[in-house]
Amino acid sequence: MSATIHFVTGRLAAGPYGRSFKAISPGLLSPLGIMFGLFIAFTASQVWSDTARATAAVATEASALRSVVVVSAVLPEDAQTELRRMIRDYIQYTATTEWPLVAKGAVTLNISPPTLNNALQYTLSLPVVTPGQQTAQREVAASLEQALEVRRERILISRSEVNGVKWLCLAFLAVCLLFAIAFVHCDNRLTSAVAIGLFSAALAATFFLILSHDRPFTGEIALSPAPLLQVMPENR
C-alpha cells in the first residue's frame, strides 16, 4: 500500500496539479498524527483491558477451585473424595475440551459445565453436623459460585475483539497520513520514500502488536489453562 501511494503521488505531483500538492503545508502532519495516535490509543486500551481481565479471570477461577480443595478437607472423607474428583474432572474438561473452543469463540453462556454445577448441588446437599463442617460447606459453596461466575466472565472476554468499524477507521486514517507525508515530500522522491517507509514500518509493528493481543485466548501468545492445571487435585 505504501509503495502504491508513493508511486501515485509521484505521478500526480509531476502532472498539472503538482504545484497544488507541493503547496500542502507540513503542519498538516501534526493534527493528522495526533488523531491517528488517539485512535491507536483508543483501540489499544480495549485490547490491554481485555487481556488484563482475562488473566485475572483465569487466576481467580484457579484460586476459587483451590479453595474448594483446601476447605473441603474439613468435610467428611467421602465428601472430600467426591469433591476432589469433580474438581479434577472439571479442570480436565476445561483444559482439553473447553479451552480450544474458547479460543475459537465457540463457547457461549448457554453451555454450562455440568461437573461444576453438580459439585455445587452436592455441596449444598451434604448433611453437615459440626460448626466447622457447616462453615466449610458455606465456604466451598461460595468458592464454587465464584468459579462459575469468573468462568462466565472468561467466556464473555473470549468473544470480545476489536470490531471492523475501528479497524476501518484506523486504516482510513493511516492512508490519509501516508498521502499527507507523500505530498509534503513530493519535491524529493527519495525523502518521500524514506518517510513513507519509516511510517509504514511503525504502522505495521503497531497493527501487529494490537492484532496479536486482540483475542486473549487465541494465537501463539494466548492465555493457557496452566493456572487451572496447577491447582488440579491429585488422585487419592
Q: What whole-number distance in Å separates Cα of residue 114 and Cα of residue 97?
A: 13
Residue length, the chain? 236
pLDDT for 24 beyond 90 = no
User: Which helix (H) or strand (E) covers residue 232, if one does?
Assistant: none
Q: pTM of the prediction?
A: 0.80
CB-side neighbour CA atoms (13 Å) of 106:
7
Cβ pair 94, 142 in contact under 8 A: no
In the chain the beta strands, taken as DSSP E runs, fall at none
Where b means 16+ CB within 10 Å and e means fewer, 123-144 reads: beebebeeeebeebbebbbbbb
The pLDDT tens digits of the residues spanning 186-235 come to 778 888 889 889 999 999 999 998 988 888 888 778 889 999 999 888 76
Cα torsion through 197, 199, 203, 204, rounded to 10: 20
Tally of CB atoms within 10 A around 151 = 24
In the numeric block, the cell 473424595 is attached to: 81
Cα separation, 143 vs 131, in Å, equals: 18
Rounded average pLDDT over 164-186: 88
Report the amino acid identity of residue 200: S
Per-residue pLDDT reduced to its tens digit, 56-90: 999 999 999 999 999 988 888 898 899 999 999 99
Residues 6 or more apart from 162 whose CB is under 8 A from it? 43, 46, 47, 210, 214
Question: What are the tens digits of pLDDT across the range 97-122?
Answer: 889 888 887 887 777 788 888 999 99
pLDDT of residue 235: 67
